[in-house]
Structure 1
Amino acid sequence: MGIKSFTGRRAKPSKGNPTDIKVSDYMTKKLITFRPDQSVLEVMNTLIKNKISGGPVVNENNELMGIISEGDCMKQISESRYYNMPMADMVVEKHMAKEVETIDGNMNVFDAANKFVNSKRRRFPIVENGKLVGQISQKDVLKAALTLNGQTWK
């Protein structure tokens, strides 16, 4: 008589180890981007229409120039009223955040989660060879975590 196992059938292990899951596996590649010469009013319309809170600003070569967010637009609404300046004349380049922190697409998703916690950012652009290739948001990291639910996290 052989030894019988009473353990039920196990699911096949998913490809790769959870610690190998990269940002590039979960980043958004189809991005809504903005141009430096675009009006802030256009940006506001796009943010509302697409239910997003901001997006990368790129030049004609798809090189990352900055990020414009709802907060940047809110600031312009406030200042335009205070200084009695027309918003139609405001362009993205003058109001975007130019100091942009990016992350590597090869970074582990768990390390990216840690970076989100420590930086208090909502999104990070991913740049390869100077070109914008994607963006990862806090929501993308949450999706990755749900996908890995039940696996051993080390």
Structure 2
Amino acid sequence: MGIINFQGKRDKSASKPVEQILVSDYMTTKLITFRPEQTIQEVIETLIKNRISGGPVVNEKNELIGIISEGDCIKHISESKYYNMPMDRSHSVENNMITEVETIDKNMNIFDAANKFISSRRRRFPIIENGKLVGQISQKDILKAALKMKGNRWK
């Protein structure tokens, strides 16, 4: 004996179209950036002052050339202490930044961006447009987007 559906035929037009939520809706565009010639000391002071964990490194044309993070700064401090040397104030960002940087398209769906965060274990992704840095999205931005969503978008 089969299962009988007592609800009748469902009207498919009753469902609302799902609105796309894009990275560009939640990305940060006012960024604190660093230059390759800045010292690690300057980066540490900026990170602490602005309560951030890292930031993009750009050249004079605002092109992304790397990312510097708290971890990169800690690594530099640790190496200085290991060799019982004072932290070299002239040591530059260029020598300590990560140069292989993954980016995200600003037109990417926020759910796809969340999956990229999960799979890559990154804290932030820069957003590039026409070769220039235009913004950044962080894990916290994804959480902000999740709080503003209504239940019917979670499919």
TM-score range, shorter chain: 0.7 to 0.9
2:140 paired residue number: 139
Q: Distance in 1 between matches of 2:128 and 2:53?
A: 20
Give a deviation string over 1:69-121, Cα, whole Å, max 9, x none.
Answer: 00000000011122325420210000000010001000000000000000000
2:33 paired residue number: 33
CA contact (8 A) 1:76 1:87 kept: no
Q: Distance in 1 between matches of 2:72 and 2:103?
A: 19
Structure 1 segment 37-52 matched on structure 2, within 5 A: 37-52=37-52
Give a deviation string over 1:25-72, Cα, whole Å, max 9, x none.
Answer: 100000000000000000000000000000000001000010000000
2:66 paired residue number: 66
Q: Distance in 2 between matches of 1:124 and 1:138?
A: 9
Which consecutive unaligned segments of at least 5 residues does structure 1 have? 1-12
Q: Distance in 2 between matches of 1:99 and 1:111?
A: 21
Amino acid at match of 2:108: M
Which consecutive unaligned segments of at least 5 residues does structure 2 have? 1-15
2:11 paired residue number: none
TM superposition outliers: structure 1 runs of 4+ over 4 Å:
none
How high is the sequence identity, in percent, across the aligned residues? 69
1:53 aligns with 2:53: yes
TM-score, structure 2 as length reference = 0.85
User: RMSD in angstroms over aligned alpha carbons?
Assistant: 1.4
Q: Distance in 2 between matches of 1:62 and 1:152?
A: 36
How much has 1:149 moved relative to structure 2?
3.1
Structure 1 segment 1-154 matched on structure 2, within 5 A: 17-18=18-19, 20-83=20-83, 84=85, 86-154=87-155
Q: Distance in 2 between matches of 1:46 and 1:86?
A: 17
CA contact (8 A) 2:27 2:135 kept: yes
TM-score, structure 1 as length reference = 0.86
